[in-house]
Structure 1
Amino acid sequence: MNALSFGTPAADADVIVIGAGPAGVSAAIDLAAAGRRVIVLDMQPAPGGQIFRALEANFADPETGALLAALGPAYSAGKALIQAFRATPGIDYRPETTVWDLRADGTVGWLRGGAAGYLRAPHVVLASGAMERPVPFPGWTLPGVMTAGAVQTLMKAGRLRPEGRIVLAGTGPLIFLLAEQLRRLGVKPALIARTDRLRDKIAALAQLRPAALPAVVKGLDWLARLRLAGIPMRTGITELTAKGAERVEAVSMTVSGQPVELPCDLLVVHDGIVPSVDLAHCAGLALEWRDTEASWRPRTSPDGQAERVPGPSLTAGPCRIRISGDARRIGGAEAAIAHGRHVAAAILGAAASDTAAVVRQAMAARGFIDAAFPPGLAKPLPADATTVCRCEEITAGTLREQIRAGAREMNQIRGITRCGMGPCQGRNCAVTLARILGAECSAPPVPFHARPPVRPLPLGALAGLTGLDPELAQVVSLEDKPVAAGDDTHE
């Protein structure tokens, strides 16, 4: 094909930052302070990300004292960071903006209201954060079954307090933190059902470092307060099931080999946090599968420089994307802030040894936490009757049928069943499908092919795209079209 004569579109900024959580905000502050023109795109209406969600509004309202006290100092610690972000000149902050396309050459597709278009920069910082590990189990689609992160969102942004018989189930520090926040609000969970065991903590001691002790002490303090409050707690639970007709009415589980069932109005589940990789995958960046984490994470250098997947690509030239914060490695707010500054230093060409040391310090507890709280709810593969793809209502049994009929690749299964074709574009089902496929035929966990839009894009916005690169608009590729199992080949 002859090269087209279109010119390269001009850059809209020196750096585009995707996400206004701790990593994105800290990177933007340092970059703008150094004189760089920075555009920050964020889905949320205000900066802060998940951990500092609605912080400005809550501090501005004199009636939120009890809520702020319940959320604790970890939430309040974001106030100074967000104030600095608002006060730093040179930051073009664009809230309520969805990124639906990302390319390795620094091209970013955006959507805000009914308008959409493309922006470009020689550097892109992808700080899109994390998501809770998907945990398909019987009854997980019933109303009244929520993730811990969703409950925190309703508390922070909606200022709502859960009521009724509440059961928290799963593993990880967030279970303890949420339970402690509920206790401070006067809400006493009926049970904390943990999948982790004492032996996990003993095995994790080999990963304990002196720099991690403050985080461990904080967790022990939460645990002690919950026990003093008389909140029941069980460890090593298995076979979690939510029961009910129109909504969750009861929860059952196995504890020490014995079945246990209790009434439940709200079942809150959490099985750890994994990087949000949809935009990285859309950009054609390399992902690596982590068996111990039951998820993918992007392959990067320590300063966040991403790698392209080998092979054909829509764009040429160097990869202009750096990934920061929990979108790269799960570490929490302090680690995300530290890594955001580390990425900014790398972009600025400044000596980054100091910021690298701060990142290592902030990540010191990660090895211990990962070993002490291994995946629990997501560890067993779902039974045949359990829904895996919520968008298309596809069960594990349906997926196994196609694999046993000859399907050996995730895209092939997607083409046959529509698994991963719903609004979430596979964010909630891809990991589980990969694990089922691996168990059935030892296939490598290669994710779905990614193509824009990775978020819903209205046709009206698509028709009026601005900043379109006419050269890329000429590219047409059907090479990844899935082939059905058996002898039938779709032409």
Structure 2
Amino acid sequence: MSLRPVIVGGGSAGMAAAIELAGAGVASVLVDEASRLGGVVYRGPLRAGVDLGYLGARYSKALKQLHADFAACAEHVDVRLGSRVVGGDAQRLMVLDEHEHLQPLDYSHLLLAAGCHERAVPFPGWTLPGVMLLGGLQLQIKSNVVKPLGGTLIAGTGPLLPLVACQLHAAGAKVVGVYEACAFSRIARQSLALMNKPQLFLDGLSMLGYMKLHGIDMHYGWGVVSAQGEAELSGVSVAPYDAHWQADMSRVQRQPAQTLAVGYGFIPRTQLSQQLGLAHGFSDDGYLRADCNVWQQSSLAHIHLAGDMGGIRGGEAAMLTGRIAAVSMLHQRGVLDAEQAIERRERYLGRLAAITRFRSGVERYTARGPAQIELAQPDTVICRCEQVRREAIDLALAQGVEDMASLKMRTRVSMGDCQGRMCVGYCSDRLRAATGRADVGWLRPRFPLEPIPFSAFQHLGTEA
């Protein structure tokens, strides 16, 4: 077979898949838009000689091990960094390379390991300079590029909140408080499920101990209401949330802060999987994700999904799903027979099962309350590309709009450069609340998935 497998995404899932393929002597092409491999979890610092000790010994060990394993098989992997996949079909991708040239890339098998993006939650003041998403702030810490000035307030839900708080403090930044939207009792009810990964559970307890030792307050059942400031953030209003995440406005407190890091979970990056025409469904949390089976195969058997593309389960699970996808490719290429492939797959699935049970507990306690969509006020911007405000969405719903396509035509949401990455989550939540339906449709991304400079077509025009 002359064509090689192509892996889109150089994070833990993509790297693990390339390692598995190389171990069987199969060369692959790995495409990633970043300047270094590792994804948002294991990319590491952008400068040489940087000590990441403040991120913890276990993280540093995992980071070094993954990169060492990859280096050992690098001769079998054609790594193309600084390259973005802007479209494709069932046989070919279109890639904007590091020189901003548009190149076709044919493949025998395809692994989509493009990761996820953070869920945007609009509230008054969320577009102010100084307000950022939690994962983006953590990536800055891991890259050792910058750290926030002044006090940082962290709000949202999930285990990433205390983790980033500890990492920020250890890196020398000031954390003024952490506000977890879920009540402590709701988290405690998931203790049994969380014990499926006892080391992670103990890590969580140790982080809470670290925060208490260093005077970082953890507030359970509280969430962000609004952010204030003129040219930049100066303060954050928080309030108690009830079980449905309805804020008690009679108990609002204003905290001074120069940085607000908001983290309400992640959504798979499905733009490419949608454009390829793969089958999709909705998760319990309402986000769109591509369907895949126990082999990590999509609705097209030669196209596989791994990492957060198949569900948000963390870096360790991403590596295991990447390896399972590679095993499936090796079986399809005749490198492994059915018995060998099943035996290897079951070994990886056994390790994945405990992680899945652990993540199920996390998902139950971080399940968003439906009242959160009411944080945005009529003049709050929802679609940042097209400057669409909530009042325009309210009007469209009042006029009978019941699906995403109609909402897009009526209001222009998702018609900007990001193609809805920031606003579609909120809009689909509003539509589900208004119609009572789980499936309100989705918007298939157009080509190109990202803006392309005119210079990218120069060599193609010359050749023609």
Q: Does 1:42 pair with 2:64? A: no
CA deviation profile, 1:268-322 (whole Å, cap 9, x unmatched): 111122222121112112222224x231222110221112xxxxxxxxxx54210
2 CA distance for matches of 1:376 and 1:463? 50
Alignment of 1:177 onto 2:163: yes
Q: Secondary structure at the match of 1:420?
A: coil
Partners of 1:148 and 1:110 lie apart in 2 by 29
Q: Which residue of 1 aligns with 2:298?
A: 306
- 1:236 equivalent in structure 2: 221
| In 1, Cα distance between equivalents of 2:27 and 2:15 | 14
User: Is 2:57 the counterpart of 1:52?
Assistant: no
Q: Any residues of structure 2 matched to 1:12-23 within 5 Å, and which?
A: 13-23=3-13
Structure 1, 27-36 or 90-99: larger mean CA deviation:
27-36
Query: Which residue pairs with 1:358 in the alignment?
Result: 351
What is the DSSP-based 3-state SS (H/G/I as helix, E as strand, rest coil) of the residue aligned with 1:438? helix
User: Counterpart in 2 of 1:190?
Assistant: 176
The residue aligned with 2:335 is: none
1:454 maps to amino acid: L
Question: Tell me, what secondary structure is at the counterpart of 1:109?
Answer: strand
Measured after TM superposition, the shift of residue 29 of structure 1 is 1.1
CA distance in 1, matches of 2:441, 2:239: 33
| Aligned equivalents of 2:423, 2:187: Cα separation in 1 | 30
CA apart distance, 1:403: 2.7
Aligned to 2:326: 344
Instruction: Give the alignment of 1:355-394 within 5 angstroms.
Output: 355-375=348-368, 379-381=372-374, 382-394=376-388
After superposition, residues 321-470 of structure 1 pair within 5 angstroms as: 321-349=303-331, 350-351=341-342, 352-375=345-368, 379-381=372-374, 382-443=376-437, 444-462=439-457, 464-465=459-460
Distance change in 2, residues 1:249/1:123 (3 Å): same
Task: Trace 1:144-163 onto structure 2 (pairs within 5 A).
Answer: 144-163=130-149
Q: How does 1:89-104 map to 2 (within 5 A)?
A: 89-103=75-89
CA contact (8 A) 1:180 1:222 kept: yes
Measured after TM superposition, the shift of residue 465 of structure 1 is 4.7
Q: Please list every run of 5 or more consecutive structure 2 residues that lacks an aligned counterpart in the other structure.
A: 242-247, 332-340
Asked if 1:85 corresponds to 2:70, the answer is yes
Letter of the 1:328 counterpart: G
Q: Give the equivalent residue in structure 2 for 1:489.
A: none
Partner of 1:116: 102
- Taking the aligned partners of 2:191 and 2:139, their CA distance within structure 1 comes to 33
Alignment-derived partner of residue 475 in structure 1:
none
Is the 1:136–1:378 Cα contact (8 Å) retained in structure 2?
Answer: no
Are 1:27 and 1:341, in contact at CA under 8 Å, matched by a contact in 2? yes
Q: C-alpha distance in 2, partners of 1:319/1:347?
A: 9
Q: Give, in angstroms, the shift of residue 383 of structure 1.
A: 3.3
1:127 equivalent among 95, 102, 113: 113
- State whether residues 289 and 445 of structure 1, in contact with CA within 8 Å, keep that contact through their aligned partners in structure 2: no
Of 13-22 and 367-376, more deviation after overlay is shown by: 367-376
Are the aligned partners of 1:167 and 1:192 in contact in 2 as well (CA < 8 Å)? yes
Which residue number in structure 2 is paired with residue 265 of structure 1? 258
Q: Is the 8 A contact 2:405 2:441 kept in 1?
A: no
Instruction: Check conservation: 2:155, 2:224, Cα contact below 8 A.
Output: no
TM-score, length basis structure 2: 0.89
Does the CA-based 8 Å contact 2:381-2:388 persist in structure 1?
yes
Residue 197 of structure 2 is aligned to residue 215 of structure 1: no
Aligned-partner residue type, residue 342 of structure 1 = I
Q: How far, CA to CA, are the matches of 2:370 and 2:265 in structure 1? A: 10
Residue segments in structure 1 that go unaligned for 5+ positions in a row: 1-10, 308-317, 471-491
SS at match of 1:159: coil
> Is the contact made by 1:192 and 1:234 (CA closer than 8 Å) also made in structure 2?
yes
Give the letter for the 1:456 counterpart: P
Identity of aligned residues (%): 29
Letter in 2 for 1:455: E
Pair 1:27-2:17 in alignment: yes
Residue in 2 that maps onto 1:320: 302
Give the RMSD, CA atoms, in angstroms. 2.3
Distance (Å, rounded) in 2 between the aligned partners of 1:71 and 1:397: 45
State the 1:133 CA deviation. Answer: 1.4
Tell whether the 8 Å contact from 1:68 to 1:76 is kept in structure 2 after alignment. no
Q: Which amino acid aligns with 1:346?
A: S
2:244 aligns with: none
Query: What letter corresponds to residue 301 of structure 1 in structure 2?
Result: N
Residues 215/102 of structure 1: CA separation in 2 closer, same or farther (3 Å cut): farther
Between the aligned partners of 2:144 and 2:2, the Cα distance in structure 1 is 35
- Superposed displacement of residue 23, structure 1: 0.3
Out of 269, 281, 302, the residue aligned to residue 276 of structure 1 is 269
Mapped to 2, the partners of 1:368 and 1:100 lie a distance apart of 36
Higher mean Cα deviation, 230-239 or 93-102? Answer: 230-239
Secondary structure (helix, strand or coil) at the match of 2:145 reads: coil
Does residue 295 (structure 1) correspond to residue 290 (structure 2)? The answer is: no
